[in-house]
């Protein structure tokens, strides 16, 4: 039998930062596939802030996790053995492969993907990251030529794609990110109109006002807290506020942080705040992916991957997305 | 010359409750109309929480007020002298008549209204109150048969109409109000399905959950603060949250209260929060009034007016809407 390493959930990180002891590494045998199942060798795993919420069973939009479960994660891999007519050895597939070397899953829970040479992209710009940006804008943010969009977590996997789509749509895009290197990437390679380095000090709201003097038409928020309030204070008439994430909240647990004081500005500006969850748009993924692929191939959308090798370092690698250590999409290279 | 009493703005009530000394009473002569103007005898004046915000120049959606200005208020009156071909003495008109016995105004700033025997209704269910309820639902809340709607300030002028429109639309309606009398009115005369008396003690969120066990589809908020948070914690998938007002916030000024901690539930429930401002829908007022009038005449919408006589008591009467002393639409009877 082949050996299979698995990271399980050992503790729930509610109300605090993740730590390595929240996970336990065990080694067992690979589980052979039964009828309808396939055995997949995991190649890349996606690291996303939402995974912490899954460990905490927050939000109720996913099946609950239990202590002892293999840590849930999206991933891409290669079929090594198939007991399903739809898939054969060598096929590349994506799905919830979880933190392990090998996944044994029903074929119907996997999606076959083309291997065009940058396979990991199906976890980033062609996967949940890119699709979140795409639907957050097409369904909720609705950028219109001439609009000004301000993005927090702008150098992150989702924010960076959202900003580039808005640029394709003729918008002025301002990104907020931590550190000079990230900001330089936004205004340089990605073509953002301006970037605000929140780590450089200075009043964020003043800087937003300077870069969006006529108000923000589309807010894209990955952070929450003071930054969301600063943006809400600067919205334009009929602004659309897309709540994509709230990285500043994820370690607070039941000691819930204050919400946006400036939500009342939604009245004065006749504006709208939307919650964004990708699962909403599953039926339209295929059409969206085709557009994203075209934009990537034509160079209109650029992306970076932050690939950390080694399943054994999975906890540390996931922790990077909560400190902003990652530059672009955070991935674990398993094999 | 006829004598004209006027209440002017003497101080701005930012960051505190209104007090009588924020207003100053002066007496002068009626100003005769010039070409294009009319002289209107004021009959009723509307009392609305938004008036405090106008004194504070908050929100930027109205022309600023100055200290010494006659206090701004919507009203209905009778033309006593006209220098405009469109209006003649005896016509009933509505507009920003302000806190005074007589208003001299350009005819184009007035709207002629039918006097069907309940003239003051044009300030309430047929006026800004009813229209706010109508458009807040038709444009933003979008009630659908079977939906559950929860309303704060439910016995107020706007909340009570919004609830009845949702009942016409086949919804289950739960009102939150202060005091047994108001709650009895909601579930009795108005036909709400349930009412929660927030003054009776008990956990509001628990009671909401009991009356909306499958979640709230439409939130209608006039209060803000803890009550808004309680409702956001109980929203259903795809909920629409209409922010109509925030009576709990109006005395806080620059010492801004916390926003809703549970705004993040917008993500998990793929929900939307809208700010509602009536000025948005001026072009559709006429069609909406026709429906409201029909519902009122057929008895499907009932309303109460809380008419306090005497322009001399105007400050005290306006203060009633901030303490919840009023039952239904608060009006000042001037003449």
Same domain, A18 and A63: yes
Biggest CA pair distance of chain B: 66
What is the C-alpha to C-alpha distance for residues B44 and B334, in angstroms, rounded to an integer?
A: 6
Position B285 scores a pLDDT of: 93
A249 & A210 share domain? yes
Domain boundary among A239, A262, A279: A279
Q: Coil, strand or helix: which one is B45?
A: strand
The answer to whether B32 faces chain A, any CB pair under 8 Å, is no
What is the spatial distance between Cα B53 and Cα B31, in angstroms, rounded to a whole number?
Answer: 28
Assigned domain for B288 exists = no
The predicted structure's pLDDT at residue B144 = 94
- Which residue has tokens 């009115």? B185
User: How many structural domains are present in chain A?
Assistant: 2
Q: Which two tokens stand for residue B173?
A: 């309606």
pLDDT at residue B254 in the model: 60
Q: Within an 8 Å CB–CB cutoff, is residue B282 touching chain A?
A: no
Let me know whether A166 and A254 are in one domain.
Answer: yes
What's the token pair of residue A170? 């003729």
Residues of chain A with pLDDT under 70: 1, 253-255
CATH number, domain containing residue A223: 3.40.50.720
Query: What tokens were used for A96?
Result: 């919830």
Query: How high is the pLDDT of residue A248?
Result: 86
Is position B163 within any domain?
yes
Residue whose pair of structure tokens reads 């109300």 in the numeric block: A15
Q: Which site among A255, A264, A269 would you substitute to test the B interface, given the most B Cβ atoms closer than 10 Å to its Cβ?
A: A264
Instruction: Give the residue from chain A lying closest to B252, CA to CA.
Output: A261
Q: Which of A248, A252, A254 is nearest to A230 (CA)?
A: A248
Nearest CA in chain B to A223: B264
Q: Is B271 on the interface with A (CB under 8 A)?
A: yes
Encode chain B (335 residues) as per-residue pLDDT tens digits: 689 999 999 999 988 999 999 999 999 999 999 999 999 999 999 999 999 999 999 888 889 999 999 999 999 999 999 999 999 999 999 999 999 999 999 999 999 998 888 999 999 999 999 999 999 999 999 999 999 999 999 999 999 999 999 999 899 999 999 999 999 999 999 999 999 999 999 999 999 999 999 999 999 999 999 999 999 999 999 999 999 999 888 877 666 778 899 999 999 999 999 999 999 999 999 999 999 999 999 999 999 999 999 999 999 999 999 998 998 899 999 99
In-domain check, residue B296 = no
Decide if A274 and B266 are in contact by the 8 Å CB cutoff: yes
Assign 3-state DSSP to chain A and report helix, strand, coil percentages, each to 5: 35, 25, 40
Write out chain B residues lying below 8 Å of A277, CB-based. 267-268, 270
Question: What distance lies between CA A185 and its chain's CA centroid?
Answer: 18
Residue B289 placed within a domain: no
**Does B271 share its domain with B235?**
yes
Burial of B190 (0-12, 13-18, 19+ CB in 10 A): buried
Residue A289 lies in a domain: no
Same domain, A150 and A274: yes
Instruction: Tell me if B298 is assigned to some domain.
Output: no
Rounded to whole angstroms, how far apart are CA atoms B335 and B327?
Answer: 21
**Which has the closest alpha carbon to B165: B132, B124, B197?**
B132
Q: Is any Cβ of chain B less than 8 angstroms from the Cβ of A58?
A: yes
Residues A30 and A76 in one domain: yes
Task: For residue B231, tell me if it sits in a domain.
Answer: yes
B263: closest chain A residue by CA: A259
- Supply the DSSP string of A141-207, one letter for each residue: I---TT-EEEEESTTSHHHHHHHHHHHHTT-EEEEEESSHHHHHHHHTTT--SEEEEGGG-S-HHHH
Chain B contacts in chain A segment 244-263 (CB below 8 A): 244-246, 249, 256-263
Which ipTM score applies to this complex?
A: 0.84
User: What confidence score (pLDDT) does residue A280 get?
Assistant: 92
Q: Is B273 part of the contact surface with chain A (CB cutoff 8 Å)? A: yes
Q: What is the pLDDT of residues B197-234, one digit of tens each?
A: 999 999 999 999 999 999 999 999 999 999 999 999 99
Which phi and psi angles does B172 have, rounded to 5°?
-90, 125
Q: Kindly state whether residues B28 and B58 are assigned to the same domain.
A: yes
* CATH number of the domain that residue A67 is part of: 3.90.180.10
d(Cα A255, Cα A253) in Å, to the nearest integer? 5
With residues binned 3-state (H G I as helix, E B as strand, rest as coil), the percentages for chain B, rounded to 5, are 35, 25, 40
C-alpha–C-alpha distance, residues B169 and B136, integer Å: 14
Q: Do B268 and A224 touch (CB under 8 A)?
A: no
By Cβ distance, the residue of A59, A224, A259 closest to B268 is A59
Residue B299 lies in a domain: no
Claim to verify: residue B201 and residue B268 sit in the same structural domain: yes
- The verdict on A193 and A109 lying in the same domain is no
Q: CB A258 to CB B262 under 8 A?
A: no
Does residue A268 sit in the same domain as residue A149? Answer: yes
Tokens of B140: 């933003």
Residue A234 and residue A159 share a domain: yes
- Report strand pairing: A329-333 vs A305-309: parallel
B15 touches chain A (CB under 8 A): no
Do A41 and A163 fall into the same domain? Answer: no
User: Which of B245, B270, B273 lies at the smallest CB-CB distance from A273?
Assistant: B273
* Among B142, B140, B148, residue whose Cα is nearest residue B175: B148
- Residue A153 is part of which domain span? 128-279
- CA dihedral over B112, B113, B117, B118, signed as positive or negative: negative
Chain B nearest-CA distance from A203, in A, is 18
Alpha helices in chain B (DSSP H): 50-56, 128-135, 157-168, 180-187, 204-211, 225-232, 265-268, 285-297, 314-323
């Amino acid at each position: 039998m082949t050996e299979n390493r698995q990271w399980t959930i050992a503790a729930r990180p509610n109300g605090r930062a993740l730590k390595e002891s929240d996970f336990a590494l065990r080694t067992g045998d690979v589980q052979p596939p039964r009828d309808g199942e396939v055995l997949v060798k995991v190649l890349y795993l996606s690291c996303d802030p939402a995974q912490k919420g899954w460990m905490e069973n927050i939000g109720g939009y996913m099946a609950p996790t239990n202590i002892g479960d293999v840590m849930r994660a999206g991933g891409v891999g290669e079929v090594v053995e198939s007991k399903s007519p739809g898939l054969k050895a060598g096929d590349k597939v994506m799905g919830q492969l979880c933190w392990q070397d090998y996944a044994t899953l029903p074929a119907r829970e996997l999606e076959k993907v083309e291997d065009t040479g940058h396979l990991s992209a199906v976890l980033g710009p062609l996967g949940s990251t890119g699709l979140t940006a795409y639907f957050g804008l097409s369904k909720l943010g609705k950028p219109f030529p001439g609009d000004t969009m301000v993005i927090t977590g702008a150098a992150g996997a989702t924010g960076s794609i959202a900003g580039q789509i808005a640029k394709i749509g003729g918008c002025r895009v301002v990104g907020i990110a931590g550190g000079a290197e990230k900001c330089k990437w936004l205004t340089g390679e990605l073509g953002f109109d301006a970037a605000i380095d929140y780590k450089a000090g200075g009043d964020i709201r003043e800087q937003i006002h300077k870069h969006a003097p006529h108000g923000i038409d589309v807010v894209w928020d990955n952070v929450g807290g003071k930054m969301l309030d600063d943006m809400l204070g600067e919205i334009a008439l009929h602004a659309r506020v897309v709540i994509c994430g709230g990285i500043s909240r994820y370690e607070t647990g039941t000691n819930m942080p204050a919400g946006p004081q400036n939500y009342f500005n939604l009245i004065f500006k006749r504006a709208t705040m939307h919650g964004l969850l990708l699962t909403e748009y599953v039926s339209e993924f295929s059409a969206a992916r085709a557009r994203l692929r075209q934009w990537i191939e034509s160079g209109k959308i650029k992306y970076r991957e932050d690939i950390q090798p080694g399943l054994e370092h999975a906890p540390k690698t996931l922790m990077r997305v909560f400190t902003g250590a990652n530059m672009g999409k955070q991935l674990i290279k398993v094999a």
